[in-house]
Structure formats: C-alpha cells, structure tokens
C-alpha cells in the first residue's frame, strides 16, 4: 500500500474525473490489477470558487478546504497528491495550502503548473506560449510565475474581450462547460476555437489549456499548434513517481503535446 496517488478533485468535479482518467489512460495495463492505486476526493462544497476568491468576490481562501481534502487523502494512504485545478495554483491559494500540508509527513505535493513548465522547458523547447484560462488565472498572473520572461518565455494572453469570452465558455450557466459538459455546448467550443486561432495568428508556438475544464472542449488537430494539458502532464508525472515502469509512451492516448 505504498505510493498511492491522491487527487484533490471537485474543482470542478468533471476535471477531477478527467485527471484520474488520464492516470488510467497513461498506465500500461491489460487487467484491473495492473492499474495504480489512486484516491479521488471530490468535495466541491468544501472549496469555494478559486476565481471568485482571487477577484475578491469570495472571502474564504480555498486553501483551507484543499487542506481538509489533502488530510482525507493522506489519512486514507495517499502520498503523492495533486490538485486538479489550475486557478488553485495561484500563489495566494497554493502557498498557504503548501505550508499547511507540510505537517503531513511523507506527503509529496506534485504542482501541476510547475510540471507543465518543466515539460515545456525540457521537452518542447518553444518560447511563445499562448494561454487559455479562466479570468482568475489571468488576473492572478499565476502562469507568469512559472513561465518567466527572464527565462526567455513570452506568455501570450487573449485580449480583454477574448478573456471575457473564454470565461463565459467555462462559467456561463446556459452554455458554459461547468454547467454543460456532457456534451459540451457548440457555443463554448466556438469561443475557444476563435481564441486559439487568434493566439496562433499572433505567433504562439504552443497553447496551454490552463483550466481543467478546457480539455473537455478542445481537441488537438493534426498540424495545429501543440495543445498542452497540464492535468495530463501531471497525471503522467504522478505515474512516473509511483510506478515508472507502467508509464505509457507519449502520444499513445490523449496526449496532445507530441
């Protein structure tokens, strides 16, 4: 019972499911028992909206709920834990979270954005990176902490209007992905495709799907820009940490990067 993977999901719930599915899809397995022991906590009522907190519309720091979830996972045996939400990685949330979970001995937190940045630096070697994300992620500037100018990166964001449109594609109660993910509405898909075209036109060499809902709505096209899914990259990193011999080759299933 060593090396169990833990996922703090529920932020949102489908993103957590997608994260665990990525772990299964990227594991070499021909029978149930080959799969890696994993736990998913999907307790959305414990974790206030991350974007609302970063924009000042929500007082409670989501970090506290995330710590409660981490404790549930830790008590149940998880030792490698990731949070299936981009916006939660903003310093104002992730730093206190990380400090508070230091009390759990032997727990390794695998940071999704750091994992994505390491991948771009070591494997993809491109510099002009377009970012699709929720307003909270743009406002917090969280991706700028990981893709720094000093390291030669240009992080490209959509125009203000483009950012509003993407936020609606995620959050709108009538057509947004959080409310309607099975299937994703055409309006949400169209907004995202337009944002991708605009960023490509401005010279982006790769695109980050910087919100865990986006991979549900955007699929890579042959010859199109590489689409980086930080959740997928982190799922693969968790496999590498717990059972490296079981990691499938890149590109076999669902990996948009290569």
As to burial, measured by CB atoms within 10 angstroms (0-12 exposed, 13-18 middle, 19+ buried), residue 168 is middle
Count of residues engaged in binding its own copies, rule: CB under 8 A: 43
211 classed as catalytic = yes
Question: Shortest gap between Cβ of 171 and its own copies (angstroms)?
Answer: 8
Which of 178, 185, 236, 237 is in the footprint of its own copies by CB under 8 A?
178
**Does 244 contact its own copies by CB under 8 A?**
no
Catalytic one of 69, 116, 211, 255:
211
Residues 55-114 that bind its own copies (CB under 8 A): 72-73, 75-77
Q: Tokens standing for 68?
A: 């409660």
Which of 59, 101, 150, 173 is in the footprint of its own copies by CB under 8 A?
173
**Does 48 contact its own copies by CB under 8 A?**
yes
**Does 217 contact its own copies by CB under 8 A?**
no
Q: Alpha-carbon distance 219 to 100, whole Å?
A: 36
Catalytic one of 24, 43, 69, 85:
85
Residue 97 CB: number of other CB atoms within 10 A? 22
Closest CB to its own copies among residues 155, 238? 238
Which of 8, 10, 140, 239 is in the footprint of its own copies by CB under 8 A?
10
Which of 8, 17, 131, 233 is in the footprint of its own copies by CB under 8 A?
17
Stretch that binds its own copies, among 39-47, 131-139, 195-203, 216-224 (CB under 8 A): 39-47
Question: Shortest gap between Cβ of 151 and its own copies (angstroms)?
Answer: 33
85 classed as catalytic = yes
Which of 4, 54, 196, 225 is in the footprint of its own copies by CB under 8 A?
4
Which spans of this chain sit near its own copies (rule: CB under 8 A)?
A: 1, 4, 10-14, 17, 20-21, 24-25, 29-35, 37-49, 72-73, 75-77, 173, 178-179, 182, 253-254
List the catalytic residues.
Answer: 85, 211
């Amino acid at each position: 019972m060593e090396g169990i993977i833990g996922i703090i999901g529920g932020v949102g719930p489908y993103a957590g499911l997608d994260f665990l599915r990525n772990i299964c899809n990227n594991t070499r397995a021909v029978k149930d028992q080959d799969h890696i022991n994993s736990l998913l906590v999907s307790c959305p009522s414990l974790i206030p909206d991350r974007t609302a907190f970063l924009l000042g519309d929500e007082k409670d720091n989501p970090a506290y709920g995330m710590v409660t979830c981490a404790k549930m996972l830790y008590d149940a045996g998880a030792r490698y834990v990731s949070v299936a939400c981009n916006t939660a990685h903003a310093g104002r949330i992730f730093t206190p979270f990380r400090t508070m979970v230091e009390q759990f001995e032997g727990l390794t937190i695998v940071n999704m954005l750091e994992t994505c940045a390491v991948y771009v630096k070591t494997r993809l070697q491109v510099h002009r990176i377009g970012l699709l994300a929720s307003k909270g992620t743009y406002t917090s500037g969280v991706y700028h902490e990981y893709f720094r100018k000093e390291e030669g990166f240009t992080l490209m964001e959509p125009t203000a209007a483009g950012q509003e449109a993407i936020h609606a594609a995620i959050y709108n109660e009538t057509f947004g992905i959080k409310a309607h993910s099975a299937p994703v509405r055409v309006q949400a898909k169209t907004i995202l495709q337009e944002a991708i075209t605009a960023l490509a036109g401005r010279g982006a060499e790769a695109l980050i799907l910087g919100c865990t809902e986006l991979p549900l709505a955007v699929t890579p096209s042959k010859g199109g820009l590489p689409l980086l899914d930080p959740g997928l990259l982190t799922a693969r990193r968790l496999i590498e940490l717990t059972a490296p011999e079981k990691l499938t080759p890149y590109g076999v299933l669902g990996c948009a990067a290569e």
